[in-house]
Amino acid sequence: MRLLATVAALGLALVLTLLVFGLPVADSLRLLGEGAFGDKFGISRTLAKATPLLLTGLGMVIAWRAGMYNIGGEGQLIVGAIGGAAVAAALMGKVVGPVLNPLILAAAMAAGAMWSGFAGWLQVARGVPAVISTILLNFVAIQLLAWTVQGPLRRSDGGLPQTVPLPADTMLLKFDRQLDLHFGLVIAVVAVLLVTAFLYGTRSGFRLRLVGASPTAARANRIPSERVAIGSMMLSGALCGLAGGVEYTGITGTLGTGFPQGWGFLAIPVALLGGLHPLGVLLSGLYFGALFAGSENLARFSTGGTTLIYVIQAAAVLAVVALAPRAKPAKIKEAAA
């Protein structure tokens, strides 16, 4: 029922947005569909765009489920990529690619976790709401990236202000040299399964959900909710950082100021439309991946492109919120379990 309502809301949001901006609905939908699923290039594009959305979306699920409003996925993704690039710069040529790649991803996760963990700590220890600090840290991260690629990590051959491109053997595996699709998709899907198992199959996952659903019940059960809060933020940031590392070693191979594409920002609608459930994120991440892939085709009608997708996403979130049942008795049930 809930799934059906969400799908209806998504469809409605898409069609309404097209109508409002005066685009021909049938033709636009056909172009979107062809761009996203028309041939193997389209499907590969869809999956490649969905990959970072899945990872960042999962990150949002973990934080929000613990009651932490992490709005800083974008900053965590950027800082993750910077961490990865720093490791790459230090070890490139000293370590073989297949070894270096996982090191880059691990550094990305660690850097992302630090960035978000700081925000979590600020809330717990200093009373600074994460919803504000994570947003402010996004802007700091953007400037940090600009400084890094123009300063310490800038390639020395005088080219564009960006980092030294990674050699091919350090990049994530590709299934087909013609396509963008890369091994990051497998990482993302495994992450979906792991997060599902963690949230619904482990004691820590249960505690995390309990802290978010009912802080009073958590306290009554002597769950250290402050540690859970910081831990959830760090996990969340690690996933967003991983998204940055995967994008870096899967698609771009280099960092420049144009690196962030808003994946961390758009993770929030992805997570919300996925019902803050990892399996829901799998569906909504794929849907928005398809929208992004298809939108390049829409350029024929509209210069909007990606900004139009923001509208569709916002409209979808609002539509889902509008259709959602009002009361939330689930909280009490879960606390009693």
* Chain positions contacting another protein, by CB under 8 A: 21, 69, 71, 122, 126-129, 131-133, 135-140, 143-144, 146-147, 150-151, 265, 268-269, 272, 302-305, 307-315, 317-318, 321-322, 324, 326-327, 329
Tell me the closest approach of the beta carbon of residue 304 to another protein, in angstroms.
4
Q: Is the Cβ of residue 91 or residue 142 nearer to another protein in the bound state?
A: 142
| Residue number with CB closer to another protein (33 or 161) | 161
Q: Which is nearer to another protein, 100 or 268 (CB)?
A: 268
40/331 with CB nearer another protein: 331
- Tell me the one-letter amino acid at 5: A
Q: Which stretch of DSSP H or E encloses residue 226? A: helix 225-247
- Which residues are CB-contacts of 269 (< 8 A; sequence separation ≥ 6)? 284, 288, 313, 314, 316, 317
Closest distance to another protein from the beta carbon of 110 (Å): 22
Region of residue 275 (left: phi > 0; alpha: psi -120 to 50; beta: else): left
- Smallest CA-to-CA distance from 53 within 295, 273, 288 is with 288
CA-based nearest residue to 132, from 58, 61, 70:
70
Task: Supply the minimum distance, in Å, between the C-beta of residue 290 and another protein.
Answer: 18
With residues binned 3-state (H G I as helix, E B as strand, rest as coil), the percentages for the chain, rounded to 5, are 75, 0, 25
**Which amino acid type is present at position 89?**
A
Buried b (16+ CB within 10 A) or exposed e, 130-152: beebbbebbeebbebbeebbeee
CB of residue 226 to another protein, shortest distance in Å: 14
Instruction: For another protein, give the closer residue by CB, 91 or 140.
Output: 140
| Cβ atoms of residues 250 and 55 within 8 Å | no
Min dist. Cβ of residue 12 to another protein (A): 15
Q: Which is nearer to another protein, 191 or 312 (CB)?
A: 312
Cβ 227 to another protein shortest distance, Å: 19
